[in-house]
Structure 1
């Protein structure tokens, strides 16, 4: 549960990311990106990669890095992009950092519920959050504070984009797995719906687009 004033506890935040051990990361691409996305969440990973390719830039910040799959497989608009990786989990940062070593990424351990004080403002042309929001504790409205924290990091016209699993399971299997994940604290998306996501993005950005496939919302937002 969140605190009465809507604040998220440190325990909740650390519980949500603790599942990503080295063992889990070794099977993540197959289990989640290969199987769950296609057969359970009904949004195949190639769709997410295409979305990533459409919006990634030469000055990119990836938040909630997972295994680093998308920066590893995407088509950057330059051979030598500036890449920064942010996550609260040291395991994921090390895993993704090694995978993306060819780009010599900057890595930062950070809790996204807190403002970024170690990164310069107006430094990035794109910021991605893939499968981050549904793992954050709280409702879509309380966790949307992360948008306030990343917006100052974007250059004028820069894009915030990503994907998140909404509480709209289309099959009994998806409903059951989503319930298990929420009870374990791996997910916290029981109050995550498209309308709420769109409301929070539009209150902060001038241009917003959301595409829903299966249980997954792909979003992009920018301010001119």
Structure 2
């Protein structure tokens, strides 16, 4: 990982992130694994889901916070070091929270309905925080407008803890014809907000907020991790 020592002040911001979250109704969640993790990842974003699952297995801890939970596929299928992990789920969409909580009910997760652009309860602390496929669903002219998400979350990390995730970039990666069309449609509808998201800006955020960090690109997707 690369070293970083720059720190940024805490910031509170009022952002309407409901458009990206609202699409996750119960009907979509039932086909999410097939359409997003199967078809889209394979043919549009050129990033096999098995690589993201492996990424989870590398970084997930037994005291984990997952933000923007989707269908809960990765939490359901990843390998925890402890058979009884402590898991907290955060999302702005109650459908996603309910669906994921039911899917991983064996772990008895805690759920929290919240806007990640606002600070979460400071009493919560974790050894890992996952934000998989979250950033590209958040509004903003560029990924720099989403830096507050990292500032809010890093306060919840224990020393040595990691925040990790993936995001679909809008620039600086090769989009095939289908990916370009899908991105245009999703951004027009407010489902995505990633038209100007770049690796360079993502690296700027990680460098400002974490002691060490790493980024790698697979297809249209950036894999990133920051260590406190």
Same fold (TM over 0.5): yes
1:73 aligned onto 2:77: yes
Secondary structure of 2:209's aligned partner: coil
Which runs of 5 or more residues in structure 1 are unaligned?
1-6
Aligned match of 2:178? 173
Alignment of 1:201 onto 2:203:
no
1:15 aligns with 2:7: no
SS of residue paired to 2:139: coil
2:66 is paired with a residue of what secondary structure? strand
Match of 1:48 among 45, 49, 52: 52
Q: Are positions 1:147 and 2:150 aligned together?
A: yes
Q: Does the CA contact (< 8 Å) of 2:24 and 2:95 recur in 1? A: yes
Question: Contact 2:19 / 2:191 at 8 angstroms: preserved in 1?
Answer: yes
**Residues 54-203 of structure 1 mapped to structure 2, 5 A cutoff:** 54-117=58-121, 119-121=122-124, 123-138=125-140, 139-167=142-170, 168-203=173-208
Cα 1:24/1:196, change in 2 over 3 Å: same
> Which ranges of 4 or more aligned residues in structure 1 deviate by more than 2 Å?
7-10
How many Å apart are 1:169 and its aligned residue? 4.1
SS in 2 for 1:144: helix
Structure 1 contact 208–219 (Cα < 8 Å) conserved: yes
Question: Shift of residue 9 of structure 1?
Answer: 3.9
1:52–1:70 contact (8 Å) kept in structure 2: yes
Alpha-carbon displacement from aligned partner over 1:184-206 (angstroms, at most 9, x marks no partner): 10000011100000111111101
Contact 1:141 1:200 in 2 (8 A): yes
User: What is the number of equivalent residue pairs in this alignment?
Assistant: 213
- How well do the aligned residues superpose, as a CA RMSD in angstroms? 1.0
Q: CA deviation at 1:8?
A: 5.5
